[in-house]
Amino acid sequence: MYVDPITKRDKKLSLKDIDTAAPKKVNKEEALKQQEKLEEELFMLQDLMFGAKKNSVLVVLQGRDTAGKDGTIKRVVGALNPRGVHVASFGVPTEEEREHDFLWRIHRHTPRLGEFSIFNRSHYEDVLVVRVHQLLPEKIWKERYDHINTFEETLAEHGCLILKFFLHISKDEQKDRLLEREADPSKAWKLNPNDWKERQYWGEYTEANEVAISRCSSEHAPWWVVPADAKWYRNLVVTEALVKTLRPYRESWVKALEREGKAAKAALEEYKKKEKAK
Ligand code: ADP
């Protein structure tokens, strides 16, 4: 696997020790070919999952401003049948959202069986931006790691396959991307003066992300720290993680579909018999 998932809690994670660049040994051309193959497989897996209605997929995308959350979504959604995909973005909570618990707005966007939900930011903002800017008292956000773990466990018990990606970019790469947005009119819509301000909290965000990833990683809801300076490598890592997570379920989905096919056939026979007897 290009990047291994983090599946255990309480592992002290140091983001500065993880490369943001694509590894030298991975060749871009080969990677693009591999990407295509993985996308074909992902499409087929999605089809089976959609029919079998035994599982769903939740993709959580986190990362600093310009880390490539939008680009990743575009790529992943592009590889899927849009019929079974729902994308949700989470910004500053509205008044109504603030008047509920922090998971209220999240829960209603979780996927139905058979479907994908892709989160552009997520419930993790409630232990990231909230922690960095002390938007709420420490006592409140500190308890949220446990709430998040319980929440994700509940989803997993309902058949939800959870994949969480931290798109890891370097400070220099972020600067280049912010400057590019300023220079390119077609990217101007992405410009947010706040991004330069948030950049001043680089270290605080690093720590907040490290704690969130360390405290909220498990077998059923792992994190991947994705080297994201090169977009082609980022896409490859995310797509591979999806395929490798879904692949082991393929047989069970095929069986469920076969059973369903047999049941439908039996019902039809029964119906025909009754019609004849009339
Ligand atoms: P993006 O930067 O994802 O393209 P926006 O420019 O709309 O989209 O930014 C969303 C903003 O909302 C981010 O600054 C993010 O930190 C903030 N946000 C998201 N969730 C929360 C939250 N629970 N509390 C406070 N701010 C939040």
Phi, psi of 181 (to 5 degrees): -60, -35
pLDDT for 12: 80
Helix extents (H) in the chain: 28-52, 69-79, 95-98, 104-107, 129-132, 138-157, 171-183, 193-199, 202-215, 231-246, 250-277
Q: Are 130 and 100 in contact (CB under 8 A)?
A: no
pLDDT for 34: 98
Give the distance (Å) from ligand 1 centre to CA of residue 221.
22
Query: Which tokens belong to 239?
Result: 């797509």
Cα pseudo-dihedral 137, 140, 141, 143, rounded to 10 = 150
pLDDT for 197: 94
Phi, psi of 63 (to 5 degrees): 160, 165
Question: Which residue's C-alpha comes closest to atom 10 of ligand 1?
Answer: 91
Q: Looking at ligand 1, which atom is closest to the CA of residue 129?
A: 16
Give the distance (Å) from ligand 1 centre to CA of residue 89.
9
Q: Which residues line ligand 1 (CB under 6 A)?
A: 65, 90-93, 120-121, 125-126, 129-130, 135, 192
Q: What is the pLDDT of residues 23-52, one digit of tens each?
A: 999 999 999 999 999 999 999 999 999 999
Question: Which residue's C-alpha comes closest to atom 15 of ligand 1?
Answer: 91
Give the distance (Å) from ligand 1 centre to CA of residue 122.
9
Q: Which residue type does 165 have?
A: F
CA distance 220 to 9: 12
User: Which domains are present in the chain?
Assistant: 15-277 (3.40.50.300)
Q: Are 59 and 225 in contact (CB under 8 A)?
A: no
**pLDDT band for position 191 (50/70/90)?**
confident
CA distance 30 to 121: 30
Question: Which residue's C-alpha comes closest to atom 24 of ligand 1?
Answer: 92
CA distance 224 to 25: 20
Q: Are 228 and 174 in contact (CB under 8 A)?
A: no
Give the distance (Å) from ligand 1 centre to CA of residue 65.
9
Q: Which residue type does 265 have?
A: K
Instruction: Kindly tell me if the per-residue pLDDT of 76 is higher than 90.
Output: yes
CA distance 33 to 179: 31
Question: Which residue's C-alpha comes closest to atom 12 of ligand 1?
Answer: 91
pLDDT for 187: 86
Q: Looking at ligand 1, which atom is closest to the CA of residue 70?
A: 4
Instruction: Kindly tell me if the per-residue pLDDT of 233 is higher than 80.
Output: yes
Question: Which residue's C-alpha comes closest to atom 2 of ligand 1?
Answer: 65
Q: Looking at ligand 1, which atom is closest to the CA of residue 128?
A: 16
Give the distance (Å) from ligand 1 centre to CA of residue 201.
15
